Every structure is written in structure tokens, then in C-alpha cells.
């Protein structure tokens, strides 16, 4: 059905956009798991961490699919899946910009920016534990990036340039030494852009 195709599209897109920024945490988990197995502890595959992480983004994809359906029913989307409403586009831009400055965003970003701390603090043994770690990290990442992902409806869900731009921003915000300040600066620009669209 159409809904299933859209859901799969969102899930694949979220995996492609978000896995690169989660790679440092998954690789650190793999290194630590290997060292622990060398000491005689049961071997754990880091695939379970990645699976947990992607499961959370699959849940987000379900919500995005429902939102897309709602916008389509309200005739607010172009064929490129870009909103045709200036009010909605401006509102999403302003909301995404303001969110960049909230304590919740900053707390989630701190977790995402320190993968070693995350792995050491939230280590769980076994495959089930690794999956739970992935779920937790995925939840933190959704908390960090959900409004940035809604910007896809502003630039066009089908626009490869827009998808690549957001993915690159997420990667730099999480991994660059100045990512913290870059995120706040982007917040100011998004609010200004949204204000211009609304006016």
C-alpha cells in the first residue's frame, strides 16, 4: 500500500541520515565489547546496538508518515512533498530555530557529542542490553534532531540536496569541536528565516 511505501521511504532516509552521526558510539561499543570478550565475558555484537538505534528512528518514521498523510489530506504538500503553506513553513522554521536553544536540545546534544561517556555510563551486558543501549541512544538522538527532520517538509522530503544538507548539519553539530555553537548560530538563522517567510 501507499502508506507502507512512504513508511519504508522515511525509515531508509532516517537510517541514511542518522547512522553516520551514531557511528562513533557504535564503534566504541564494538571496541569495548571485543576487549570484554577477550577477558572471557560473553561476546556481544554491536549490530544489536545499531538495531536498537534504528528501531527508535523507525518509530519516528511512523510518526512522520502520519504527519505527511495529514498534510496531504489537507492539500498542504506539493508533489516534491514540500509544504505549500507559508504559515506552516515559517512556523516550522521558527520552532526549529528556537528549539536549538532549549535545555532539552542542549542535554540531548551533550549525550550525542560524548559517545565514550554514553557507552561507559549506559553499558548493558548481552545482546538484549546492547539493544537497550541502542534504544536509549536513539531516543536521545530523536530528542536532539526531531525538529530538524521536520524541516524536510519545508525544503521538500523528495529533495536530495535538502536531505544531504540536513544530514551534514547533524553530523557537524554532533562531531565538530564547535558543533555546540554552530547549532545555536543555526537556531538564530532559522528563526530569522522563519520570520521572513511569515512576514
Of the pLDDT bands very low, low, confident and very high (cuts 50, 70, 90), residue 38 is confident
The mean pLDDT value for 44-68 works out to 95
CB atoms within 10 A of CB 158: 15
60, 146 in Cβ contact below 8 A? yes
Residue located via cell numbers 552521526: 21
170, 145 in Cβ contact below 8 A? yes
Does pLDDT of 53 surpass 80?
yes
Angstrom distance (rounded) from CA 44 to CA 161: 37
pLDDT for res 37: 83
Tens of pLDDT, residue by residue over 145-154, are 999 999 999 9
Angstrom distance (rounded) from CA 136 to CA 116: 14
Residue located via cell numbers 496531504: 72
pLDDT for res 39: 85
The residue ranking higher by pLDDT, 46 or 54, is 54
Supply the mean pLDDT for the chain: 94
Amino acid at each position: 500500500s501507499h502508506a507502507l511505501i512512504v513508511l519504508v521511504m522515511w525509515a531508509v532516509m532516517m537510517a541514511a541520515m542518522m547512522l553516520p552521526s551514531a557511528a562513533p558510539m557504535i564503534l566504541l561499543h564494538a571496541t569495548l565489547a571485543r576487549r570484554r570478550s577477550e577477558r572471557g565475558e560473553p561476546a556481544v555484537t554491536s549490530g544489536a546496538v545499531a538495531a536498537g538505534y534504528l528501531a527508535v528512528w523507525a518509530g519516528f518514521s511512523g510518526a512522520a508518515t502520519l504527519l505527511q498523510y495529514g498534510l496531504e489530506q489537507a492539500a498542504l504538500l506539493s508533489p516534491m512533498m514540500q509544504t505549500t503553506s507559508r504559515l506552516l513553513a515559517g512556523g516550522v522554521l521558527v520552532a526549529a530555530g528556537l528549539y536549538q536553544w532549549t535545555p532539552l536540545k542542549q542535554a540531548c546534544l551533550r549525550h550525542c557529542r560524548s559517545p565514550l561517556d554514553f557507552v561507559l555510563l549506559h553499558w548493558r551486558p548481552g545482546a538484549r542490553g546492547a539493544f537497550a543501549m541502542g534504544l536509549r541512544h536513539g531516543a536521545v538522538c530523536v530528542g536532539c534532531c526531531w525538529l530538524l527532520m521536520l524541516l524536510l517538509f519545508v525544503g521538500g522530503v523528495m529533495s536530495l540536496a535538502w536531505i544531504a544538507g540536513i544530514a551534514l548539519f547533524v553530523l557537524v553539530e554532533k562531531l565538530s569541536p564547535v558543533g555546540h555553537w554552530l547549532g545555536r548560530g543555526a537556531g538564530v538563522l532559522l528563526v530569522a528565516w522563519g520570520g521572513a517567510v511569515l512576514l
